[in-house]
């Protein structure tokens, strides 16, 4: 199994269910107007639960959560850090 593709599939599915729109992996869904700050916090909460990671205050940067690619990269980085601890 390829965690990168598995993570992207889960992220894409979550966004499709919640936003009712299909996005390309690089689409900035904030800039496109599909999400607001409430949804951003729901996304953060889902990421924590789904991938068993902790999102710290310093992680709350739109650069980590604005696209499928960004969320995936963030999850992979956090997973490596968690595995190293």
pLDDT per position as a tens digit, 12-68: 999 999 999 999 999 999 999 998 889 999 999 999 999 999 999 999 999 999 999
pLDDT of residue 5: 77
For the chain, the distance separating the N- and C-terminal CA atoms, rounded to the nearest angstrom, is 23
12 closest CA partner among 2, 1, 27: 27
The set of long-range contacts for 9-18, using a CB threshold of 8 Å and a minimum separation of 24, is 10/50, 11/68, 11/71, 11/72, 11/75, 12/68, 14/43, 14/46, 14/50, 15/68, 18/42
Measured from the Cβ of residue 22, the count of other Cβ atoms closer than 10 Å reads 9
pLDDT of residue 9: 96
Domains and CATH numbers, the chain: 3-84 (1.10.1200.10)
Q: Is the confidence at residue 3, as pLDDT, over 70?
A: no
pTM score: 0.89
Kindly report the backbone phi and psi dihedral angles of residue 57, in degrees, each rounded to the nearest multiple of 5, phi listed first: -55, -40
């Amino acid at each position: 199994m390829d965690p990168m593709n598995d993570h992207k599939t889960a992220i894409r599915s979550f966004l499709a269910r919640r936003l009712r729109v299909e996005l390309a992996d690089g689409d900035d869904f904030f800039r496109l107007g599909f999400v607001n700050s409430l949804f951003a916090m729901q996304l953060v909460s889902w990421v924590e639960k789904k991938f068993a990671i902790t999102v710290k205050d310093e992680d709350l940067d739109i650069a980590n959560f604005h696209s499928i690619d960004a969320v995936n990269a963030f999850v992979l980085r956090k997973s490596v850090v968690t595995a190293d601890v």
